[in-house]
Structure 1
């Protein structure tokens, strides 16, 4: 906060030629206060940094080195007007970064909700965006997905009470494979399957909830050091998955360092299985403009479940990464969408023997219309 020193009134030292105190003359109206030169108004303004809270347990905070990698990815991409916030200090990592965080080792999200722990943390840090990977300890403790999602509801309500424009990135948790918890792997899958529907129901135009798939392509054998906590390779994968979603929210945050005139654009992508055949399936993805302004282009990130790989699309342009993640952009003619309008593209995917019912997690990004 800028502080301005108040100038001393020169009349406090004036005495009249009659020897009367100036204060008395002023009170009698016989002496006007001396004029002081007004300082010109300070018209220089700088956008407040976008405040980002990494929220979770030890995967986020002990030491949570993916945060350091994510911070530097954002800086390298030009997102310098940001501030990672939290009541916990940096915890090492050997990389220069803003290490403030809210990653409390051993904490259950259900405990954080039932004990009302989050409001004080929000009040102390005032985030604009929350990046949440929270629930691993609940899974380990065999807490039912319904209870975990109810805790998400509680935390989201507290976030919005703190900031009605809160933007929330919620992770589908990284896999678990600890030697002492045989059921943890399946429980993570069960919870992750429920998160997209929860987020879709909780998201609003003013306070979007965006799902980030941290599960697909993450291997506990190579990306963790104990079946739970990420090693250096795991940190790289987690940061890479957070980055595009977080960068988009930083750009769209009201009052952030971007152009204040830029409209907020959002879209959704929903996957629907059309037919199943031996060794593959056909599906359709519907893209909908959920913002109040036109969209001039969209991109969908598609992560097929159960090892499936997208091999062909129509009404879109396909790029497939080595880990099977597919990126589909509009075909040009179907890129412009009015508010509330939708379009669709089709796809064919190959599957392995014994694959489950076709499914995929999707993320959607859009550009504002001219």
Structure 2
């Protein structure tokens, strides 16, 4: 006998039961998946400066490309300026303003608006060139630095500041600019040490040592596109990656090791002397651009020198390569020298550094 047809209520009940069974099976067969993690926000880096950062700042392109090629891809250069005229692809945003002074930015209260528009986590600041050009003393320039730092921390209490000792400059018509840069740069580390905190550290980057106005600039101030921008980038990169990696406050990355030795010979008389120094590259790689640091003994005053540019006349001295001897091949030496007066002490310097790294004394 054929089965009796199901009534409407029975058919509905069967369908509902089948639906519930399938739903339960589906729920049982599914494994709970963890929620996908939101991608980490990029670290926002402001490159703050004047024309050396802005219009002439193709070191920015090199820095961006270096970061990308070494795995630092979660970086966002930020700024209200966009200068794309450099070779290769890069993040063009920056805060480089041609002709601006640190004191002008501070006095005109310009930085807060730029910070509000970009909210950086890290600021790379290279300011002071135009202030020195305007014959302002280091104390005035550092006062502007302090104002700018306070504005950065008001925007972001955890901001990290990477501040440059500015490159040397020797523009036409500014006889005191070279020494003005030295005076400012000598004061920057002490300022940074006094204002750095654990929450908002300050790192100092030496953009002066090894940089030559004769061979690395187009006009005694602005870096050229051959050696100049590459030297600037090579100093920014380790300092920025240290900040990206969470490094705390400090004087910045250690100098790139340079294997070297210095031999000194002197000829002295009752009130004067000459010293001849031979700097030898004892490493396996060439040195491209160099600065030799040493301290004159007490009572000595340098009166002239040759084959290098000398930063000061007494005390701590830095001799920077001339246009024709900036490259020292492995195993090769270059000779420089100076004449000095003395007050009865014709001794020679006893310690030397080449590009910040200590040399052996022959």
Q: 1:183 matched to which residue of 2?
A: 176
CA contact (8 A) 1:61 1:91 kept: no
Displacement of 1:91: 3.5
CA distance in structure 1 between the aligned counterparts of 2:117 and 2:158, rounded to whole angstroms: 17
CA contact (8 A) 2:56 2:222 kept: no
Q: 1:130 matched to which residue of 2?
A: 123
Q: Is 1:94 paired with 2:87?
A: yes
Which residue among 255, 260, 264 is the counterpart of 1:301? 255
Residues 118-173 of structure 1, C-alpha deviations (whole Å, 9 max, x = no match):
00100000100000110111110001110000000000011011111111111111
Q: Is 1:246 paired with 2:240?
A: yes
Q: 1:93 to 1:158 in 2, by over 3 A?
A: same
CA distance in structure 1 between the aligned counterparts of 2:185 and 2:136, rounded to whole angstroms: 14
CA distance in structure 2 between the aligned counterparts of 1:303 and 1:146, rounded to whole angstroms: 33
Deviating 4+ runs (over 2 angstroms): 40-44, 264-269, 299-304, 318-326, 350-363
RMSD: 3.2
Q: 1:77 to 1:106 in 2, by over 3 A?
A: same
Residues 171-195 of structure 1, C-alpha deviations (whole Å, 9 max, x = no match):
1111101112121111111111111
Residue aligned with 2:53, SS: helix
Q: 1:211 matched to which residue of 2?
A: 204
> Under a length normalisation based on structure 2, what TM-score does the superposition of the two structures give?
0.63
Q: 2:214 matched to which residue of 1?
A: 221
CA distance in structure 2 between the aligned counterparts of 1:41 and 1:120, rounded to whole angstroms: 41
CA distance in structure 2 between the aligned counterparts of 1:303 and 1:214, rounded to whole angstroms: 16
Q: 1:356 to 1:56 in 2, by over 3 A?
A: farther
Residues 1-53 of structure 1, C-alpha deviations (whole Å, 9 max, x = no match):
xxxxxxxxxxxxxxxxxxxxxxxxxxxxxxxxxxxxxxx99543111100000
Q: Is 1:111 paired with 2:104?
A: yes
Which entry has the higher C-alpha Rg, 1 or 2? 2
CA distance in structure 1 between the aligned counterparts of 2:102 and 2:108, rounded to whole angstroms: 10
Which residue among 172, 180, 193 is the counterpart of 1:200? 193
Q: 2:147 matched to which residue of 1?
A: 154
CA contact (8 A) 2:165 2:207 kept: yes
CA distance in structure 1 between the aligned counterparts of 2:195 and 2:349, rounded to whole angstroms: 28
Q: 1:226 to 1:325 in 2, by over 3 A?
A: closer
Number of equivalences: 253
Task: Show structure 2 runs of 5+ residues with no match.
Answer: 1-32, 263-281, 293-318, 320-335, 341-347, 358-362
Which residue among 18, 31, 46 is the counterpart of 1:53? 46
Q: Pick which of 119-128 and 353-362 moved more.
A: 353-362
Displacement of 1:110: 0.2
Alignment of 1:276-355 (within 5 A): 300-301=254-255, 322=287, 323=289, 353=338
Q: 1:213 to 1:221 in 2, by over 3 A?
A: same
Alignment of 1:23-34 (within 5 A): none
> Under a length normalisation based on structure 1, what TM-score does the superposition of the two structures give?
0.62
CA distance in structure 1 between the aligned counterparts of 2:160 and 2:126, rounded to whole angstroms: 14
CA contact (8 A) 2:54 2:96 kept: yes
Q: 1:120 to 1:227 in 2, by over 3 A?
A: same
CA distance in structure 2 between the aligned counterparts of 1:215 and 1:72, rounded to whole angstroms: 23
